[in-house]
Structure 1
Amino acid sequence: FDYLFLPFTDETNGISTYDGGRYLDFSIPEEKRVTIDFNRAYNPYCAYSGRYSCPIPPKENHLETAIPAGVKKFTKN
């Protein structure tokens, strides 16, 4: 595989973003340093339907700050 999967939670979960966290996917860089673009954060499938099971972000991936970028909370009309 040539990509990384980063599930994370932050201080916006349950307020303006999905309660269970969001995900990021990105290509493995050639350098040792990674730039994370949180504008690309997306909701897991389980945010839209109970028919899906989604990985739960580990506690180590909780960011103690608000990330007000990326996909916001899904609300049914």
Structure 2
Amino acid sequence: MKPVLFLPFTDQTNGGETYGGGRYMGLTIPTGDTIELDFNKAYNPYCAYASGYACPIPPKENDLEVPIRAGVMKSK
């Protein structure tokens, strides 16, 4: 089994087009020096759907200053 990296992030769509608390991605840790981010795999934390869950808050370093219009968006 390959090691994975948990990546919580926020972007300019949070609170409008996507869940306000940010979204998450699971990444396979590469063997080289680069990593490819596929934002189509971004998903909402459990707390976006039900109360009673304590979800990690993305750190400020993971606050993207662009909108990411990929992955799971807000349900209408």
Q: TM-score, normalised by structure 2?
A: 0.94
1:34 partner amino acid: I
- Alignment check: 8 A CA contact 1:4 1:28 kept: yes
Q: TM-score, normalised by structure 1?
A: 0.93
| Alpha-carbon RMSD | 1.1
Structure 1 residues 47-73: Cα deviation after superposition (integer angstroms, max 9, x where no partner): 001111100001110000000000011
For the residue of structure 1 that corresponds to 2:61, the secondary structure is helix
- Alignment check: 8 A CA contact 1:48 1:74 kept: no
Identity %: 60
Separation in 2, partners of 1:49, 1:24: 19
2:8 corresponds to: 7
- Alignment check: 8 A CA contact 1:9 1:62 kept: yes
Q: How many residues align?
A: 75
2:66 corresponds to: 65
2:19 partner amino acid: Y
Runs of 4+ with >4 A deviation: none
